[in-house]
Amino acid sequence: MTRILKIKNLQQEIVTCTISTLKEENLNQVINLQEEVVNTLENKEYFFKTENSEFRGILNNKENICLGCFNESNELIAYGMFIKPTLLDNYGLDINLEKDLLPLVGHIESTIVHPNYRGNSLQKHLIAAIEELIDRNKFSILCATVHPDNKASLKTFLKLGYEVKIEKEKYGGLRRYVLMKSIAYN
């Protein structure tokens, strides 16, 4: 999967970017981007960091979809990840889905954009690209979490058709909306 985008950086220069599949060889880029972005957040509660070992597992699991956006210098400037959750970590439990629907739930687990490239709808492009690649016969319900005050991220998910189902504490006491979208074939 490869997609080309023309975007602007912080200096308003046009940059050609490529969205493509992330692999284990991109692990250090993923970790470094997460650190850089988290360090620049005004509100650290907006993003719950993924552990390095967890990233490795996500990147190596064939059922997951991990996409990165690379600039012309092959620097990772954004990423988005879809995962098959465990039954214990399934956001469907948070929104009281029926037990027989839980295996159909997939998570948009992590999306992150470098501060120099915000304002280009990269999160939206990544999530939309992920949704195109999902096997809808296996995963017909998508869930995600967003901090209620993270207006930019919330707006992106709402534009993509996700609905806020509940606000609750997740990840050791952080406020989150749990969002859901049905992508079942009609």
Tell me which residue of 23, 108, 109 sits closest to 60, measured CA to CA. 23
Dihedral (CA of 171, 48, 29, 78) sign: positive
Q: What is the pLDDT of residue 16?
A: 97
* Total number of domains constituting the chain: 1
Dihedrals phi, psi of 42, to nearest 5 degrees: -65, -45
The 10s digit of each residue's pLDDT in 43-59 is 988 998 899 999 999 99
Q: What residue numbers bound the domain in which 76 lies? A: 2-182
Question: CATH number for the domain including 148?
Answer: 3.40.630.30
Pairing of strands 141-146, 105-113: parallel
Q: pLDDT band for position 186 (50/70/90)?
A: low
Query: DSSP assignment, residue 102?
Result: G
E strand or H helix at 19: strand 14-21
E strand or H helix at 33: helix 27-40
Query: DSSP assignment, residue 49?
Result: P
The 10s digit of each residue's pLDDT in 56-111 is 999 999 999 999 999 999 999 999 999 999 988 999 999 999 999 999 999 999 99
